[in-house]
């Protein structure tokens, strides 16, 4: 196999093992409407923007769009934008020529090139740096791009599908995302609802995950009891389908309902605003969002202080990219370097750092 072929085989995402469509979409009205939209837009060679919270299944939908498209025989190439450092992302996306920079001992095709006559899936597109946003805009405008160190543009035929868990309109207002690129990738838009908005689909999802992990681990975990199913229905699922899948996997491996009910009970303990107890009107979504941001700020500050404000080391501890940590530091209003900020009073137990 050629070097380019070896690279391509390591980047292509298998899509043959997608869950059945009745599991992906379930039976809720909101998901049935989404299914009709996906089936309709899959045949159109225009960019698609998939928006939704983390864990809602955006990548699954991107794979399904490819599978239902006329380009299903072509490659499906995924790029996880925040997972690749900014200094490497340009070469990963667009490739480079021999001698383009120190260490470039040969030419290498980028993922855009590898996705020719197929689908390029850009996950968490909001994390793309401004310079790369400009190059992506050129690709979407005229189907051309240039390898690093090359003198001539190359042409590709590629269907671009982007996903994000952020509100790109807010990123545009903040100056971190190009408005012209937003209009280019947002030709067709899909909003994936969180699990709490499609609770009626949970029994089918649970049954599917149970069957899958029983087979994967050769275990015979019994069906969940009605009491546990009721508890699962009441839970708010901040991690969405990914959290549900991990919970079912844990149940199959450990074989006891107590292993998951205790976890759900602990996660469900919420510190309420006093207005809730006084009967005032409370914007639940805003309160929940603010509570998550406050907790995230406390955790980031704690980890930064524990690592002497070494941001790269803190990013590794938090298991996020360095660029993602910088963004969250700005979002939380924290200084980029130590200014002897005192840790805020903590709510509940101190979080482990290792």
Structure confidence by residue, pLDDT tens digits, 150-200: 888 999 999 999 999 999 999 999 999 999 999 999 999 999 999 999 999
Instruction: Tell me what pLDDT residue 276 has.
Output: 45
Taking 80 as the threshold, does the pLDDT of residue 343 lie above it? no
Instruction: Give the lowest-confidence range in 265-279, 292-306, 310-324.
Output: 265-279
Instruction: Tell me what pLDDT residue 267 has.
Output: 61
| Top-confidence range, 15-19, 26-30, 61-65 | 61-65
Structure confidence by residue, pLDDT tens digits, 28-40: 999 999 999 999 9
Q: Same topology for domains 196-267 and 282-354, yes or no?
A: no
Instruction: Tell me what pLDDT residue 277 has.
Output: 42
Instruction: Tell me what pLDDT residue 274 has.
Output: 45
Superfamily of domain 3-193: P-loop containing nucleotide triphosphate hydrolases (3.40.50.300)
* pTM listed for this prediction: 0.72
Instruction: Tell me what pLDDT residue 12 has.
Output: 58
Structure confidence by residue, pLDDT tens digits, 90-147: 899 998 888 878 888 888 899 999 999 999 999 999 999 888 999 999 999 999 999 9
Compute the average pLDDT of residues 266-290.
Answer: 52
Instruction: Tell me what pLDDT residue 94 has.
Output: 93
Taking 80 as the threshold, does the pLDDT of residue 1 lie above it? no
The arrangement of secondary structure in 282-354, i.e. its CATH architecture, is: Orthogonal Bundle (1.10)
The arrangement of secondary structure in 196-267, i.e. its CATH architecture, is: Orthogonal Bundle (1.10)
Q: How confident is the model at residue 322 (pLDDT cuts 50, 70, 90)?
A: confident
Instruction: Tell me what pLDDT residue 302 has.
Output: 83
Structure confidence by residue, pLDDT tens digits, 195-247: 999 999 999 999 999 999 999 999 999 999 998 898 898 888 999 999 999 99
Instruction: Delimit the domains of the chain by residue range.
Output: 3-193, 196-267, 282-354
Between these two residues, 301 and 74, which has the higher pLDDT value? 74
Instruction: Tell me what pLDDT residue 103 has.
Output: 80
Which are the contacts of 255, defined by CB distance < 8 A and separation ≥ 6? 219, 221
Instruction: Tell me what pLDDT residue 66 has.
Output: 96
Q: How confident is the model at residue 346 (pLDDT cuts 50, 70, 90)?
A: very low
């Amino acid at each position: 196999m050629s070097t380019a072929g070896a690279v391509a085989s390591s980047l292509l995402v298998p899509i043959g093992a997608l869950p059945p469509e009745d599991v992906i979409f379930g039976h809720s009205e909101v998901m049935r409407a989404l299914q009709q939209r996906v089936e309709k837009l899959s045949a159109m060679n225009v960019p698609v923007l998939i928006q939704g919270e983390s864990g809602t299944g955006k990548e699954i939908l991107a794979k399904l769009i490819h599978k239902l498209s006329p380009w299903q025989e072509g490659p499906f190439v995924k790029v996880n934008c925040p997972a690749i450092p900014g200094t490497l992302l340009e070469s990963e996306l667009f490739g480079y020529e021999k001698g383009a920079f120190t260490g470039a001992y040969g030419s290498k095709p980028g993922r855009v090139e590898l996705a020719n006559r197929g689908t390029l899936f850009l996950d968490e597109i909001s994390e793309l740096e401004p310079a790369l946003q400009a190059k992506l805009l050129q690709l979407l405008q005229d189907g051309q791009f240039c390898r690093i160190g090359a003198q001539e543009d190359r042409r590709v035929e590629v269907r671009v599908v982007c996903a994000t868990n952020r509100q790109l309109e807010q990123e545009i207002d903040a100056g971190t995302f190009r408005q012209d690129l937003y209009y280019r990738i947002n030709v067709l838009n899909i909003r994936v609802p969180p699990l709490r908005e499609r609770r009626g689909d949970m029994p089918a999802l649970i049954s599917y995950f149970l069957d899958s992990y029983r087979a994967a681990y050769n275990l015979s975990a019994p069906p969940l009891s009605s009491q546990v199913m009721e508890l699962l229905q009441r839970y708010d699922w901040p991690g969405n389908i990914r959290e549900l899948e991990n919970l079912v996997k844990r149940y199959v491996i450990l074989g006891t309902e107590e292993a998951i009910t205790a976890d759900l009970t602990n996660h469900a303990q919420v510190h309420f605003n006093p207005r809730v107890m006084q009967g005032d009107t409370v914007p639940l979504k805003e309160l929940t969002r603010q509570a998550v941001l406050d907790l995230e700020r406390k955790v980031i500050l704690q980890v930064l202080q524990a690592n002497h404000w070494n941001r790269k080391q803190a990013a590794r501890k938090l298991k996020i990219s360095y660029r993602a940590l910088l963004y969250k530091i700005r979002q939380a209003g924290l200084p980029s370097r130590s200014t002897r900020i005192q840790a805020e009073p903590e709510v509940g137990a101190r979080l482990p750092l290792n």
